[in-house]
Structure 1
Amino acid sequence: MSTEPETTENTGPGSTGPGAADGEGGGPATEPAAEEPGAGEAADMADGAGAEGADGAGDGGSAAAQLTEAQAELAAQKRERERIERRKAERAEPIAAGTKLSGKAADLLAAVRAVEGGAKPPASAFPDPEPAPRRPAPEPVRPARPVVAEPTAPPAPAPDTVDAVRRVLADGGAPENLASQAAAALGEGAGELLREDPWQLLRVTGVRPEQADGFARALLGPECAPDDERRGRAVTVWLLEQAALAGHTALELPALTAALGRQAVPDADAAVQSALAEGDVLAFQDALEEPGGAPTKAAEGGDEDEDAEESRPVRVLVGLERYALAEESLADALARIVNSLAKEVSPEWEPQGLSGSAAELVRAVAGHGLVLHTGGEAARAEPAALLTAARAQGLRAVAACHTPDGRDRFTALLPDDADGAGADGAGAEGAVVTLSGLLTGAEGPGRDAEGAFALDLLVLTDAPLLDVETAATVAESLPDGARLVLSGDPAVLWSAGPGRVFADLLAARVCPQVASRTPDPGPLGELVSGIGVGELNQVEAPGKEIVIVPVRDAGEAVHRTVQLVADSVPRAFGFAPGETVVITPGHGGAAGTRALNAALKERLNPGPGRFGGFDPGDLVVHSPAPGRSVPGRVVDADAEGLHLTCADGPVVVAKERVERSVRHGWALTAHQAVGGRWPAAVVVLPGDAAQSLSRPWVYTAFGRAERHLSVVHGVDQALPRAVAEVPAKPRTTRLPLLLRTQVPPAG
């Protein structure tokens, strides 16, 4: 492959043509056009940058009587977060004298207070002690595990609450169609709360500070002012929500105050302090290492420990409670996994018939509770060999994949004979599940009496896609003594949700890391491997595996893309149009997913769009929850909603959810496509995409193709420059420090 545009009449499908790409227009506030999450700059967060994978959030499943997989997953995660919050609150909450006493302890306290007040204590408060019967020592109490009960759909806001909110919105000149979302976000009494504090409207997804300011001016009149304490608190929380959409679990205090200044908050420090006092946000002081990783003086001991502690460099972070608690819970759970494994290594773990990095992985898992495994697509064979060996020994071992496509590809690597049988006697059947199915109980071995997974070994593939809340739920659900293997390609895009769990674990170095030495084969493997190390190499592709289609404008990019999908690729390789995925940087613009999907639908499945723009036969992508995208096809539509067929079976998307959770699916963004593979991929790079390209984006987009890749190229030298010079945008997290304080460095 050449990094320069070149003609393609004799090198593969497509043909050259004129044009320079048009600018990609921005979408609504709820639907950013740029797919890559905004990173470190607080200004990006203030602009509302969000992770692409979170577009179209909502369970979009079935009617109220039939729960969806997404609703079950969200309900399970909500219960887990509530349990964690209760545990943290009980740990930190001061106990008022006597308020948590009962029975004889309460009687004793009453007697003491009576004596102090000069009264005679009641005799019943001091009964003669009775000899306690002898009984065996109780079993050690195991820590509570999250229990997934029967999932229930989240209750809709009460009609009275929605009506009250609608009246307040009307008085403030805000769109009344926000009433249901505002009532759900603010809860009971939302109308009164919104009237007393109009800036609470910022808790509704998609509302920006300038819109909330206009609403507040209409309700408060002359009392509305930029220095209003309520405004400062609400904007602080809003900025942290935008930071979470960009992948951060917290923000450094200077970055947050700078962003508040750009939002016209006169006293940013006071706004942060007010939010802290109200409990809307949490603050942390994390000690920093000296340059070169040397410990600070305070850590070295000596007579001047107190002075050293005072001068110890720290960074002050501010974050939302839900992500802070999830990160702490994840660190606690991983420390438990590392420390609870028995030190004796069973001789059965010695790898039989394995060599290279596969054998190295088995040995690492034999002696450690937590192991990281890195590698590309071909490296999946190594955790598959580990899973096969573990199940052959009778261990309860399961692999969980991010997508149904990933599950099917991993399953194909396992043997079908009895040698792959697990403790239940099953072969490859049931050994591989989707992560969402494992969490909801729809797939996998289920949970034991204490709520933990009934597993001895869990292998999680596509580990870079784990956000901090999902990772915490998984780690908390593993029983003591179980092993956890996180496997994935560290060069792909990070999770759509906040956190960078896999990268943080690799950086913390608290467990063994096994790097695969199995390269991806063929010209595509050579091209993608080079991108991973920052090199866009020219690759020989004698079988037309890689084709460059230069274009000069967005209109030509759309035309060439339709030509490739509908004609050239099927003619050259025999792939049906549905077997070719189109990947572009964003939803908006003249060559974004909207424009490309409209053109592809017109060519491949024309129709009037009888149900919300969809017709039977349309390829779609369903987003049942933030960060999850499941490809599917429209089957029918009726009063219940839009009927889809997806990899996991039929899905019914309620009518009111269709607009938010279903998109046409011939063209995707890289975040929607990550975790899946297609026989052919067409990557569209219009001229306005130059600023949004990065090495992880290019690596992810090019790596979705199994046999053929066409690049509709309109960014000139921006492509090799992005591969060589633009790494992943940084994310602010606390996980590495939390892990280092609980787990000693590995090896």
Structure 2
Amino acid sequence: MSTDRQAEPAAAEEPAAEASPADADQNRPDKARAAEPEAEPDGSGTAEPAGAEDGSVALHGEAGDGGPGAEPPVSGRGGVGEGPAGPEAEAGPETAPAAADDPAGSEAEADAAQSAEPAAEAQAAPALSEAQAELAAQKIERERIARRKAEREAPVEAGAKLSGKAADLLAAVRAVESGTKPSAVYFDEAPAAPRRPAPAPAAPRPATPAAVAAPAPSADTVEGVRAVLARGGAPEALAAPAAAALGEDAAGQLTENPWRLLSLAAVRPAQADGFARALLGPGAGPGDERRTTVLVGWLLAQAGLKGHTALEAPVLEKALAQYGVPDPAEALEQAIAEGSVLVFHEPLGPPAGEDAEGAEDAAQPVRLLVGLEGAAMAEESLADGLARLAAGAFDAPGDWERAAGSAPSPSAAELIRAVAGHGLVTHTGGEAARAEPAALAAAARELGLRVCVAAHAPGGGPDPVTVTGLLSGAEGPGRDADGQFALDLLVVLDAPQLDVETAAALVESVPDGARLVLSGDPGVLGSAGAGRVFADVLAARTCPQLVSRTPDPGPLGELVSGIGIGELNQVDAPGKEVVIVPVKDAGEAVHRAVQLVAESVPRAFGIPAESVQVITPGHGGSAGTRALNAALKERLNPGPGRFGGFDAGDRVVHVPSAGRALAARVVSADAEGLHLDRAGARIVVPKELVESQVRHGWAVTAHQAVGTRWPAVVVVLPGDAAQALSRDWVYTAFGRGERHLSVVHGVDQALPHAVAEVPAKPRTTRLTGLLTALATAGTQQPE
């Protein structure tokens, strides 16, 4: 294998030229540059494999000290868009919960933005998106779930002043907090604690996967909001999205409580504070109950963008303090009492001092969690549904055993046997292990069962069914008279991509007596939305768990498998399956990536350029997706961009909603919108949504690439992106290639450091505890 250190296209007879680790050291990149705007939260980082002279691949790198930056969210007058200089003025959604000591705070990714930044811009569009139309079909199901949840006793009563255990727990939390609280800054300043810049804010996910878009606000409503915004010095462009977010009484709500402007994804607390000051005058102080109540909800919403379904009370209080709230504990208690948020008590273990016989009066150690109603309802509904399926008992007749006996591998046989006798089964493994659920599906069909296999992305499974299409009814078996899926076995691939809301809608639709298999690779990047469903189900250990013993083949499989356990191994690549291309700066990285896609890989492997995918950590910067796509378009499909920046033949990514990045190609455009070919299906993106939902797609982020593989992949790791690298990012990006992986590296030790020492960002969730409690309660029921 060789490592190409020259940028001249003439030198690219092979994907790379031979180089030793010493050669790579001669090509050490510059230290990270100043933060570039518009970097995506799925990362901005740098990694560097270095070549070895013996035909093997040695990977190493040097950490940089830079990181991704972000654009100011809004511009306007009177404080909105004119936040103070400082971290928050340049920060996106990641900043908020990071204000506290939450380990997932300042470093947590806003995973909703993995759908690419087009989703962040979609909020201002007056027309319904494709995703909203798809999700509308789920309305009846979610209403049924809501009614069911309403009938259950709430874990903690909200809507009245706290008393009893809840009040005692809040008091205990405040009592055990050590040290003084952070000094309160003036309420419209940025939090004092420095944190890394974050990307431009992404649009929040809908309250539930089945949320139906509200009708477009009337012209009178928009005009009323515009007048209020003008009085507060806010941009008129916010009128339509504010009216859509707050409803027909939006103008009245903003007049009564100007901080409701935080309902818009692009608005930060500093801008809302300025708007409130302009409307309310000096009375708009940092401790105003209207402000603190909205701020609590906003912080939890931002936490949801980073994958949390709840936050610990002390974490939330510290975040409030850093936004200048004078008494965070009181503010949190007020929000709980008003019912705007819910509080949950999660046991942390057996009662303190409990002896072998048990002690009824022993103190139960608990963790106090606070969350929003939508995520709480979805998480509890999901736990109920999973417990219902897990409790199903099935006989394992001989025909299942015969099917297992003829399975193509021992792991597939184990999976068939487990599914024969259980209603809920988990299955983990790499790319090669995807053949095992396929074998299960084939065996079940031969036994006469109605089977559906759903994947995260189109083409990700043996059947052309996506999870989103299944839920909307556009794909799959459809629903029976009771609104349940008409099937006996549902196999969900790419299970790590399920957020709690999507998973709840999915599980609630699986009928009693049916089986559910959740299958996926635990090493890949997590879901765009809140929750860590697959990891929580695995941690609960309340159902059979099958671990595939089928390894991913070849040098690529060996490399990626090592990354999954935190080891960046040297692998033999005699067929140039893995190639390292060291570069000195971002400009050279772009040049070499274009050369690899357009010349080297097609020449060396016979893989056409349209089957080579470029993956990079972020959208912004000198070697982000924007820069790479501009260079790749100029080389592969030059044109004037006559269709709103696009030309026929352009490779694009269509992002109809957060977490869904769908590869497509531009066909044409007319007054109706932009016509795309997506895996043979023709779709039309309305012209008013093109700017927010469509981006060029020769280069994508790892979050956008998850669930899809290409014959060849070029991973570009520029020098200003080292801090964004993590084990799951590298594992995901390097695992997208089927036959070939080229790594255009710009840093040295950042890569092995990330693989060995930077695991996936933690998420605060409740699902594991809920599943464990339901399983325990089920075993204790009298017969």
Q: Establish whether TM, by shorter chain, passes 0.5.
A: yes
Matched AA of 1:57: A
Q: Secondary structure at the match of 2:344?
A: strand
Matches within 5 A, 1:51-200: 51=111, 52-55=113-116, 56-57=118-119, 70-77=131-138, 79-92=140-153, 154-200=214-260
For residues 58 and 75 of structure 1, do their structure 2 counterparts lie closer, same or farther at Cα, with a shift above 3 Å needed?
farther
For residues 250 and 78 of structure 1, do their structure 2 counterparts lie closer, same or farther at Cα, with a shift above 3 Å needed?
farther
In 2, the alpha carbon distance for the partners of 1:298 and 1:471 equals: 38
Matches within 5 A, 1:263-412: 263-289=323-349, 295-296=350-351, 302=357, 304-306=359-361, 308=362, 311-342=363-394, 344-350=395-401, 351-354=404-407, 355-406=409-460, 410-411=461-462
**2:532–2:765 contact (8 Å) kept in structure 1:** yes
Q: How far does residue 163 in structure 1 lie from its aligned partner after superposition?
A: 1.1
**1:560–1:712 contact (8 Å) kept in structure 2:** yes
For residues 250 and 514 of structure 1, do their structure 2 counterparts lie closer, same or farther at Cα, with a shift above 3 Å needed?
same
Q: How far does residue 300 in structure 1 lie from its aligned partner after superposition?
A: 6.8
**1:509–1:746 contact (8 Å) kept in structure 2:** no
Q: Partner of 1:493 in structure 2?
A: 525
Q: Partner of 1:529 in structure 2?
A: 561
Q: 2:307 aligned with 1:247, yes or no? A: yes
In 1, the alpha carbon distance for the partners of 2:777 and 2:464 equals: 31
Matches within 5 A, 1:44-55: 45=105, 50-51=110-111, 52-55=113-116
In 1, the alpha carbon distance for the partners of 2:680 and 2:605 equals: 28
Deviations 1:554-613 (A, max 9, x none): 111111111111121122122222211111111111111111111111221222222332
Deviations 1:434-454 (A, max 9, x none): 111111111111111111111
Q: Secondary structure at the match of 1:623?
A: strand
**1:23–1:590 contact (8 Å) kept in structure 2:** no
For residues 479 and 398 of structure 1, do their structure 2 counterparts lie closer, same or farther at Cα, with a shift above 3 Å needed?
same
Q: How far does residue 14 in structure 1 lie from its aligned partner after superposition?
A: 4.5
Q: How far does residue 659 in structure 1 lie from its aligned partner after superposition?
A: 1.7
Deviations 1:695-734 (A, max 9, x none): 0000000000011111011121110111111111100000
- Provide the aligned C-alpha RMSD in A: 3.0
**1:46–1:242 contact (8 Å) kept in structure 2:** no
Q: Secondary structure at the match of 2:465?
A: strand
Q: How far does residue 19 in structure 1 lie from its aligned partner after superposition?
A: 4.9
Pick one of 561, 570, 573 that aligns with 2:605: 573
Matched AA of 1:530: G
In 1, the alpha carbon distance for the partners of 2:396 and 2:468 equals: 32
Deviations 1:305-327 (A, max 9, x none): 12x1xx21100001111001100
In 1, the alpha carbon distance for the partners of 2:306 and 2:14 equals: 38
Pick one of 282, 290, 303 that aligns with 1:230: 290
**1:81–1:322 contact (8 Å) kept in structure 2:** no
In 1, the alpha carbon distance for the partners of 2:28 and 2:346 equals: 54
Q: Secondary structure at the match of 2:657?
A: coil
Matches within 5 A, 1:642-681: 642-647=674-679, 649-681=681-713
TM-score where L is the length of structure 2:
0.79
**2:121–2:692 contact (8 Å) kept in structure 1:** no
In 2, the alpha carbon distance for the partners of 1:463 and 1:403 equals: 11
**1:357–1:516 contact (8 Å) kept in structure 2:** yes
In 2, the alpha carbon distance for the partners of 1:38 and 1:348 equals: 52
In 2, the alpha carbon distance for the partners of 1:555 and 1:523 equals: 29
In 1, the alpha carbon distance for the partners of 2:108 and 2:562 equals: 33
**2:576–2:740 contact (8 Å) kept in structure 1:** yes
In 2, the alpha carbon distance for the partners of 1:233 and 1:76 equals: 33
**1:249–1:734 contact (8 Å) kept in structure 2:** yes
Q: Partner of 1:122 in structure 2?
A: none
Pick one of 213, 219, 226 that aligns with 2:273: 213
**1:76–1:440 contact (8 Å) kept in structure 2:** yes
**1:45–1:239 contact (8 Å) kept in structure 2:** no
In 2, the alpha carbon distance for the partners of 1:215 and 1:32 equals: 28
**2:428–2:520 contact (8 Å) kept in structure 1:** yes
Q: How far does residue 84 in structure 1 lie from its aligned partner after superposition?
A: 2.8
In 1, the alpha carbon distance for the partners of 2:340 and 2:539 equals: 30
**1:402–1:462 contact (8 Å) kept in structure 2:** yes
Runs of at least 5 residues in structure 1 that lack an aligned partner in the other structure: 95-147, 290-294, 412-430
Q: How far does residue 161 in structure 1 lie from its aligned partner after superposition?
A: 1.1
In 2, the alpha carbon distance for the partners of 1:718 and 1:6 equals: 19
In 2, the alpha carbon distance for the partners of 1:154 and 1:567 equals: 49
For residues 636 and 33 of structure 1, do their structure 2 counterparts lie closer, same or farther at Cα, with a shift above 3 Å needed?
same
In 2, the alpha carbon distance for the partners of 1:745 and 1:258 equals: 35
Q: How far does residue 91 in structure 1 lie from its aligned partner after superposition?
A: 3.5
Q: Secondary structure at the match of 2:459?
A: helix
Matched AA of 1:357: S
Matched AA of 1:491: G
TM-score where L is the length of structure 1:
0.83
Matched AA of 1:328: E
Larger Rg: 1
Q: How far does residue 11 in structure 1 lie from its aligned partner after superposition?
A: 9.6
Q: How far does residue 518 in structure 1 lie from its aligned partner after superposition?
A: 0.7
**1:341–1:482 contact (8 Å) kept in structure 2:** no
Deviations 1:104-127 (A, max 9, x none): xxxxxxxxxxxxxxxxxxxxxxxx
In 2, the alpha carbon distance for the partners of 1:370 and 1:459 equals: 10
Q: How far does residue 401 in structure 1 lie from its aligned partner after superposition?
A: 0.8
Q: Partner of 1:600 in structure 2?
A: 632
Query: Which deviates further from its counterpart, 364-373 or 35-44?
Result: 35-44
Q: How far does residue 27 in structure 1 lie from its aligned partner after superposition?
A: 4.1
Query: Which deviates further from its counterpart, 84-93 or 431-440?
Result: 84-93
Q: Partner of 2:492 in structure 1?
A: 460
In 1, the alpha carbon distance for the partners of 2:662 and 2:344 equals: 37
Q: Secondary structure at the match of 2:391?
A: helix
In 1, the alpha carbon distance for the partners of 2:527 and 2:355 equals: 37
Matches within 5 A, 1:341-740: 341-342=393-394, 344-350=395-401, 351-354=404-407, 355-406=409-460, 410-411=461-462, 431-647=463-679, 649-740=681-772
Matches within 5 A, 1:36-51: 41-43=98-100, 45=105, 50-51=110-111
In 2, the alpha carbon distance for the partners of 1:455 and 1:557 equals: 49
Matched AA of 1:353: S
Q: Secondary structure at the match of 1:349?
A: helix
**1:554–1:687 contact (8 Å) kept in structure 2:** yes
For residues 702 and 583 of structure 1, do their structure 2 counterparts lie closer, same or farther at Cα, with a shift above 3 Å needed?
same
**2:652–2:696 contact (8 Å) kept in structure 1:** yes
Q: 2:85 aligned with 1:23, yes or no? A: no
Matched AA of 1:565: V
For residues 177 and 48 of structure 1, do their structure 2 counterparts lie closer, same or farther at Cα, with a shift above 3 Å needed?
farther
Deviations 1:270-325 (A, max 9, x none): 22122222222111011102xxxxx445887857312x1xx211000011110011
Q: Tell me the matched-pair count.
A: 658
Deviations 1:535-555 (A, max 9, x none): 111111111111111111111
Q: How far does residue 59 in structure 1 lie from its aligned partner after superposition?
A: 11
Q: Partner of 1:418 in structure 2?
A: none
In 2, the alpha carbon distance for the partners of 1:627 and 1:607 equals: 30
In 2, the alpha carbon distance for the partners of 1:683 and 1:468 equals: 30
In 2, the alpha carbon distance for the partners of 1:152 and 1:193 equals: 22
In 2, the alpha carbon distance for the partners of 1:503 and 1:746 equals: 22
**1:60–1:658 contact (8 Å) kept in structure 2:** no
**2:313–2:369 contact (8 Å) kept in structure 1:** yes
